[in-house]
Amino acid sequence: MMEFESLYDGGKIPVIGQGTWGLGGGMTADYSNDVMALNVIRTAIELGYTHIDTAEMYGGGHTEELVGRVIADFNREDLFITSKAWKLTMNHVDVLTALEGSLRRLGTDYLDLYLIHRPNRDIPLRETFRALNALVEQGKVRYLGVSNFNREQLMRAQAHCDISLATNQVPYHLHNRSYVVNGVLKYCQDKNILLTAYSPIDRGYLVDDPTVKEIAIKYNATPAQVAINWLIRQPQVIALPMSTKREHLEENLGALELELAAAEVEKLDRIELPDTVLFPE
């Protein structure tokens, strides 16, 4: 049974969503695995992943097309659809155009959540949010957010947003605490902004972590379930795992059923981090 986190206005968003990066191509369209991609998206929704996360950049827009083909067979009001405007389309006119393109490819007349995919230092945030605020006013977007923003960028974004930001989507997992160290998580928790963790199992590397494996065995769980549960048990944190296999989709949902003891959580908190860059640009 899916669990939900509250948004700032009392709305609900699933604590585990389905990412779509790589379905339909990388930065450009790849049609060779469309049957597989369509099946993955459909299976995820049927299993209970009602939050589907995509972006105009994914597959050069083709990923949105694939998502659109699937969600046409479901009740739109039962789904929470997120997309993102790429960082090259951040001026006022480009944002409006980008949103219309996403809506057309997705076959919907509104997005539940629309994000700035990455910061663009060449275009003032006030210009970007002038368009984003208008889209909310027009009813084409329900919630606004950002992705890959550091604390200072997040604060400036909120200052230009007419409504509260719903989320900052960032890489966050047991091997990457950069958005804890740089103050983003604390800021989000203080300001009632969700932190959406993408790559929650570190592209699969966490399943081989000795501490994660040890705890998984103790709870008759899988390492992926432990890693995801560690995230979603934190206030204001939701996760976006991505898998193309049904068994892994089911496995990830099993993270909802875990109840880790404080001692195990402490062990996970103390996992030695790999030598990576702590602070995002």
Which residues does the annotation mark as catalytic? Answer: 58
For residue 22, list its beta bridge partners.
25
| Three-state secondary structure call for residue 182 | coil
By the 8 A CB rule, do 144 and 136 touch? Answer: yes
Distance CA 224, CA 200 (A): 9
Nearest to 3 by CA among 19, 17, 14: 14
Please give the distance of CA 231 from its chain centroid, rounded to a whole number. Answer: 13
Distance CA 235, CA 96 (A): 33
Distance CA 209, CA 182 (A): 24
DSSP-derived letter for residue 173 is: B
* 194-198, strands of its sheet edge to edge: 18-19, 51-53, 80-85, 111-116, 141-147, 167-171, 194-198, 237-240
Distance CA 141, CA 120 (A): 21
Q: Show the tokens assigned to 79.
A: 């789904």
Cα maximum dimension of the chain: 54
For residue 145, list its beta bridge partners.
115, 167
Neighbouring CB atoms inside 10 A of 224's CB total 22
